Chains A and B, each alone.
Chain A
Amino acid sequence: KLFLIVIVDSLVHWADLEPVPQDDGPNPVVKIAYSEKFSDVYDYFRALLKKDERSDRAFALTAEAIELNAANYTVWHYRRVLLQALQKDLREEMRYITDIIEEQPKNYQVWHHRRMVVEWLNDPSEELEFIADILSQDAKNYHAWQHRQWVIQEYKLWDNELEFVEKLLEEDVRNNSVWNQRHFVISHTTGYSSPAILDREVQYCLNQIRKAPHNESAWNYLKGILQDRGMSSHPGLLEQVLELKETHCSPYLLAFLVDCYEDALENNNQKETLNRALEVCEYLAQEKDTIRKEYWLFLQRSLESRFGPSAASGEPLADGTEPPAGQQELS
């Protein structure tokens, strides 16, 4: 009976339309074998598209087409044309796109569509909660984080985001997306220039590292906020890191140390600093980060070449002696 209803329905509602099949010519490549139902929906979709028909039956068909292939960007575009031409209820569309994204959260087209509808409504009020729900299912969904950053920046919804970040870091301190969001929020609100904020962030990092030492994200954040503000000049940091080295060591801690020493060498080339840096590189290469052995040895050579005794000049001195150690590197 359902079969008959479908036939009658199409005779009644689509009789005027000549379906348009796909035409790949005599030698199709990467051809997808569609069922009759799938082809029917899309053959009619193509017919409507050709006419640029603006009707309710067209709008209804886009939903069918989307259900079969939500990645077809032409269908979504046509649906948006119809939403506007037919003055459709955008609140209802928000409900629709919410359902679709929950089913297919890693699809580019659905998130773009949601963004368009939010823009048309000029109403972001559901977004943070919706995205939080998607993130509760996959806390690293790149699309979700991208949409979240867009909403926050566009509609200036910064107020509670740091709190959201801290909550998620408590759930998983290794979630790199959340650390990124932390940087996003702070850099767009208070910034990192004030010593109070910078110190707060440095201490926050070190505390997280104490709880979970083997966490590249925390170390990347620490280095990230300090690398252009003088890693070796932040008061007491080097000492804290050297302390942590004894009880909470990791390849990331050691790499951070090397970077601290490099920063120090750039400001004041001391033989002792260079030796420490070379030692840490050796330790990384031979014991603590052996997968990157060749890289740490390369870095070692590079530091030696930039700051070592032979770096002072390209040639031996006139009297054949070596230039003194600790000499400033010639640029």
Chain B
Amino acid sequence: MAEEESQLEEFEQIDFLRDRHVRFFQRTLQVLPERYASLETTRLTVMFFAVSGLDVLDALDVIDRNNMIEWIYSLQVLPTEDQSNLSRCGFRGSSHIGIPYSVKGPGVLHPYDSGHVAMTYTGLTSLLILGDDLSRVNKQACLAGLKALQLEDGSFCAVPEGSENDIRFIYCAACICYMLDDWSGMDIQKAIEYIRGSMSYDNGFGQGAGLESHGGWTFCAIASLCLMGRLEEALSQRELDRIRRWCIMRQQSGFHGRPNKPVDTCYSFWVGATLELLDVFQYTNYEKNRNYILSTQDRLVGGFAKWPDSHPDPLHAYLGLCGLSLIGEPNLRKVHPALNITQRAFQHLQQLQQTWRDNAGTCT
């Protein structure tokens, strides 16, 4: 441990501008200019990046947690009186459909209102990070909505109206089931088959069968299997070793997502976390990784960008921090590599789940 610390001191020439990043996330949570319009339907994921980012920075005290919790609950798609919309329940990404603000049920009947799997996932994680006990989450409705999204081949769509289907949404689904401690919302076996089917000839994972292997999809594959508790059941030791090799070859300075592509800050987390889940992150080069991530730091406005001298955005700001957390950057909270929340938030989840189990046990 001491050796690691002095190593970090040696290459601390590029300084980490904590306060700038705190302010970057604070501004993100307030108002964004119109040029961010394309983020409208995914605002809840942007909130997650900022809130989890502040958690990693141990700076959650700068925001009004209760107000934020209320806003998240206003995005929950609740069952209507007659429960006819159960397969559409979950969380919305924002108020873009025009449902009047409400934090409690029953749900409002609307021909086009439904949850989105990535919003249900980031809604739940954000609530946890903010210290909420999920007592106002209609868990059964969320799981019914989730079940409706899984296809015959094991992958998931994002919304019940239909969308593209791939491994990203399996990851979202796995996170939801893990957090709610209830896997009835997915057919695990089919999901595992889809994941296995997405393994490429080069031992990384693509978005689906036949597709090019990619750091982001590899994270989704491995993290999902870890959350399911099926990593070693789904993949042999030989396969795991091959996947380790594919992942570790992604380091160039920082990490890239595909062979012969440029490095990008976010892969320091996607690939880094995968390597951590596979127990070999310790064999990467921390100094080069750190130097790259910090070279993408925006010294003026805070946050991180994919490349040096580029505009920072909430996703890269958050994942850049997570990448630094993985290598043990001082004063950053540790991140749970599969669930992608701090260990602190994870412990809160574990306590909640214990309470649920205790309560279930005492039910008559």
Chain A residues packing against B (C-beta within 8 Å): 20-35, 38, 42, 46-47, 49-50, 52, 68-74, 77-78, 108, 111-112, 140, 142, 145-146, 149, 153, 174-177, 180, 183-184, 187-188, 215-217, 220-221, 223-225, 227, 255, 291-295, 297-298
Contact = CB atoms under 8 A, between A and B. Distances in A.
Interface stretch (B15-23, B35-43, B140-148, B332-340): B35-43
B30 to A, nearest CB: 7
Contacts of A153: 210
Contacts of B44: 30
B29 A24 contact: no
A32 B43 contact: yes
Contacts of A20: 98
Given A77-B162, A184-B210, A28 B111 contact: no
B47 interface: yes
B211 A146 contact: yes
Contact of B211 (A28, A78, A180, A292): A180
A298 B248 CA distance: 12
Interface stretch (B190-198, B256-264, B346-354): B256-264
B104 interface: no
Contacts of A145: 211-212
Interface string B55-87: 000000000100110111010000000000000
Contacts of A52: 111-112
B112 A77 contact: yes
Contacts of B112: 49, 52, 74, 77-78
Given A20-B98, A25-B101, A49-B112, A216 B249 contact: yes
A22 B96 contact: yes
B95 interface: yes
Interface of B: 28-34, 36-44, 46-47, 50, 64, 67-68, 70-72, 74, 94-101, 103, 110-112, 158-159, 161-164, 200-203, 206-208, 210-214, 242, 245-246, 248-249, 251-253, 258-261, 280, 282-285, 288
Nearest to A20: B98
A25 B210 contact: no
A46 B280 contact: no
Given A23-B101, A149-B211, A140 B201 contact: no
A148 to B, nearest CB: 10
Contacts of A291: 251-253, 285, 288
Contact of A112 (B32, B68, B163, B283): B163
B218 to A, nearest CB: 14
A49 B111 CA distance: 8
15 contacts: A23-B100, A27-B70, A29-B43, A30-B32, A30-B43, A31-B32, A71-B38, A72-B41, A74-B97, A108-B163, A146-B211, A153-B210, A220-B201, A295-B248, A298-B283
Nearest to B260: A174
Given A46-B97, A149-B211, A255-B245, A140 B33 contact: no
A227 B245 CA distance: 13
Nearest to B285: A291
Given A46-B98, A49-B112, A294-B284, A33 B33 contact: yes
A153 B211 CA distance: 12
Given A21-B98, A49-B97, A140-B261, A112 B284 contact: no
Given A27-B64, A31-B30, A33-B32, A295 B38 contact: no
The 10 A-B pairs at the shortest CB distance, nearest first, are namely: A224-B201, A46-B98, A25-B101, A27-B67, A294-B283, A220-B202, A295-B283, A180-B212, A20-B98, A71-B38
Given A38-B34, A216-B259, A294-B282, A69 B97 contact: no
A33 B37 CA distance: 9
B260 A175 contact: yes
Given A29-B29, A50-B110, A224-B202, A292 B97 contact: no
A27 B283 contact: no
B363 to A, nearest CB: 34
A262 to B, nearest CB: 9
Contacts of A217: 259-260
Contacts of B258: 140, 176-177
A292 B47 contact: no
A298 to B, nearest CB: 5
Nearest to B203: A224
Given A32-B32, A142-B214, A187-B210, 19 more contacts: A22-B96, A30-B39, A32-B40, A32-B43, A33-B32, A46-B97, A47-B98, A49-B97, A71-B38, A77-B161, A111-B164, A145-B211, A149-B210, A149-B211, A180-B213, A217-B259, A291-B285, A294-B282, A295-B280
B47 A176 contact: no
Contacts of B67: 26-27, 29
A294 B293 CA distance: 20
Nearest to B216: A142
